Amino acid sequence: MKALRRMIEVPKHIIVKMCLGISLILTGCFSPVRYGGNLETNPTTLHYADLEMSGEVLDRWWEIYGDTALNDFVETVLEENMSLQVAYLRMLDSRISYEQSTSSYYPTLNLSAGVGVGGNVSSDSTVDPSYSLGLSFGYEIDIWGRIRAQTVVNEAAVYSAQDAAESAAISLVGKVVTEWFNVQYYRDRLALTQRLLELSESYYTLVQEYYRSGQATGMDVLEQNQQLETLRSTIESQEMNIRLSERALEILAGGRTRATVEGGLPEPTGIGGTVNVEQLMKRRPDIRAALRSAQQADAKIVIALADRLPTLRLSASLAFRSADITELFKRLLWDVAANFVVNLFDGFKSTKAIDRAKVAYLQESMAYGIVVMEAVQEVEKSLLTLRLREQELKDAQAELERQKHILNVSRDYYVGGLIEYNRVLSALRSLVSSSQSELDARKNVLLAQLAVFQAMGGGTWLEDVSRRGEEKAQKALSALDEDDDNKH
C-alpha cells in the first residue's frame, strides 16, 4: 500500500512526460512495410534468349512510319480522348485523397460554443441555463505506425492511378494506329480491286472479241463475267470498312476531330529492342501497378496489427463555462489528458482481420510475380510473331512477282493461240489472290510491330502525357469552382 501511495504521489507532469517518452520510443519501432522489401527482385528468366534485335525501341514509336498526319492525330487523341481524361481525373482524385490522408499527422483544433438548460428532476423544478465557449486540441501519437502505413497505402494509390492512366494511354495509341492502318489497308484493297477490275474488264473485252471470232467459248465469257461481278461486289464492302475505321478514329479523338488519313499502307520498317526484364519492369505500367498493389497489401498488415494494439491520444482544452452569460468570461477552465485505449475483446475480429490482411498480401505478391512472367512472355511471343510475319511477307512478295510473270506469259501464249483462255483466267485469279495475300501480309507485319511496341511498354512520352493530363484535370476542377462562384 505504501508503494502504491508513492506512485500516486508522483507529480502529474512527470507521468505525462513518461507517457510521451514511451510513446515516442515506440513510434520508431515499427515500419509501415514489413514483408515487401524483396518484391522488386523477383527473378524471371527468358525462355528465348535468341530473341534479341539491334538497337533500342524508340520512345515515340509511331513516328518511325514517317506519317506526319498520324503523328499529329495521335497528339490530338491524347489531348481530347474522353476515357483518358476520366483516367486523369481519377489520378487527380487519388492525389487529393492522399493529401487529405496526411492530415492525420497534424493535431485537431476545434472551437465550440453552446447554450443549454438543465435542472434537478427529483427535488427541484428550477431550470438553470448554461453557457460555454471552448477551444479543444487533440493528437494521436502514431505508436505502431498505423498512420504511416495508411499514408503508404494512399501514396501507392496515387501511383496506381497514374499507372492505370498510362496503361490507358498505351492502349489508346495502339487503337489509333490500328484504325489508321485499317483505313490505309482498306484503301489499298479498294485501289487493288479497282485496278484488277479494270484489268478484268480489258480481258473481258478481249474474250468477247475472241468469242465472236470463234476463238473462245461461251463458258470463257461467262467465267470472266463472273470474275467481274465478284470484284464489283467487294468494292462497296471495302468503302464501308473505310468509313467505319474513320468513324472509329473520330470517336477516339473525342468526336471533335476528323482524321485525315493520307496515302496507303506503309512499308514495314526495321525496329530495334531487346527483351530486358529489368527495363521491362520499369517501362510497363501494369507491372508497376501490380507491385504497388502488393506494397499496399503489405502496409495494410501494419494497419490491421495497429488496430489490435492500444492507442495513445493527447488532448487539451480551454473553456469558459457559466450559468450566467454575463459571467461567462470570468472563469477559464483547462484540462490536459493522455488517454490509452485498448480493445480487450472483440470476438476475435481484430485477429481475423490480421490474418485476412496477410492472406491478401500473399495473393498480391504472387499476382505480381505472375504479371512479370506474363509480361515477359507477351514480349517474347510478340517478337516470335513478328519474325514469323516478316517471313510470311517475304514469301507473299515473292509469290506476287511470280504470279505477275505467269500472267504476262500466259497472256502472250493465249494471244499467240498456244493455250486456251481458261489458263489466262486461272493466272488472273492467282494474281488477284497473291496481291491480296501480299497486302494482308504487310498489314500483319505492321500489326505485329505494334504488338511488340505495346508489349515493351511506354517511355518518357507517357510521363509527359500524364503530367499534361493531370494539369488539364486540375484546370477543369478550377473552372468548375469559378463557374460556381459566378452563379452565386
Give the CATH number, domain containing residue 458: 1.20.1600.10
323 vs 130: CA distance, rounded Å: 4
Report the candidate in 376, 382, 151 with the shortest Cα–Cα distance to residue 286.
376
Residue-number span of the structural domain to which 69 is assigned: 33-108+143-309+350-477
Give the percent of the chain with pLDDT over 90. 21
Residue 39 has pLDDT above 70, yes or no: no
| Amino acid 29: pLDDT | 46
pLDDT digits (tens, 9 = 90+) for 41-50: 554 555 554 4
Q: Is 429 a domain residue?
A: yes
pLDDT digits (tens, 9 = 90+) for 201-234: 777 777 777 777 776 777 877 877 787 777 778 8
The more confident residue out of 430 and 174 is 174
Residue 5 has pLDDT above 50, yes or no: no
* Average pLDDT, rounded, for the chain: 80
Mean pLDDT computed over 445-449: 93
Which SS3 state, helix, strand or coil, does residue 132 take? strand
User: Which residues are within 8 A (CB) of 482 and not within 5 positions of it... i.e. 6 or more apart?
Assistant: none
Q: Which three cell numbers stand for residue 384?
A: 516470335
Report the candidate in 362, 347, 338, 361 with the shortest Cα–Cα distance to residue 308.
347
Highest mean predicted confidence (pLDDT) among 144-153, 224-233, 239-248, 315-324 = 239-248
Phi and psi of 80, rounded to 5°? -110, -15
Report the candidate in 383, 350, 473, 348 with the shortest Cα–Cα distance to residue 95.
473
The more confident residue out of 424 and 23 is 424
Report the candidate in 180, 187, 184 with the shortest Cα–Cα distance to residue 76.
180
404 vs 438: CA distance, rounded Å: 13
Q: How confident is the model at residue 283 (pLDDT cuts 50, 70, 90)?
A: confident
Q: How confident is the model at residue 199 (pLDDT cuts 50, 70, 90)?
A: confident
Q: Is 127 a domain residue?
A: no
Q: Is 483 a domain residue?
A: no
| Amino acid 25: pLDDT | 43
| Amino acid 45: pLDDT | 55
Residue 88 has pLDDT above 90, yes or no: yes
8 Å CB contact between 88 and 167: no
- What angle (nearest 5°) sits at the alpha carbon of residue 186, between those of residues 456 and 182? 20
Q: How confident is the model at residue 15 (pLDDT cuts 50, 70, 90)?
A: very low
Residue 69 has pLDDT above 80, yes or no: yes
Taking the alpha carbons of 401, 405, 406, 407 in that order, is the dihedral positive or negative? positive
Q: Is 130 a domain residue?
A: no
Residue 179 has pLDDT above 80, yes or no: yes
Mean pLDDT computed over 373-399: 89
| Amino acid 182: pLDDT | 94
114: left (phi over 0), alpha (psi -120 to 50) or beta: beta
The more confident residue out of 464 and 220 is 464
Q: How confident is the model at residue 181 (pLDDT cuts 50, 70, 90)?
A: very high
Q: How many domains does the chain have?
A: 1
Q: Is 55 a domain residue?
A: yes
8 Å CB contact between 256 and 80: yes
Q: Which of 29-38, 231-240, 318-327 has the lowest mean pLDDT?
A: 29-38
Residues 34-50 as b or e (16 or more Cβ within 10 Å = b)? bbbeebeebeeebeeee
Residue 317 has pLDDT above 60, yes or no: yes
Residue 161 has pLDDT above 70, yes or no: yes
276 vs 280: CA distance, rounded Å: 6
Mean pLDDT computed over 379-386: 86
Q: Is 235 a domain residue?
A: yes
Report the candidate in 177, 194, 178, 175 with the shortest Cα–Cα distance to residue 238.
194
Residue 441 has pLDDT above 90, yes or no: yes
Q: Which three cell numbers stand for residue 403?
A: 504470279
145: left (phi over 0), alpha (psi -120 to 50) or beta: left
Mean pLDDT computed over 20-30: 44
In which residue are the cell numbers 434537478 written? 120
Q: Is 323 a domain residue?
A: no
Q: Is 431 a domain residue?
A: yes
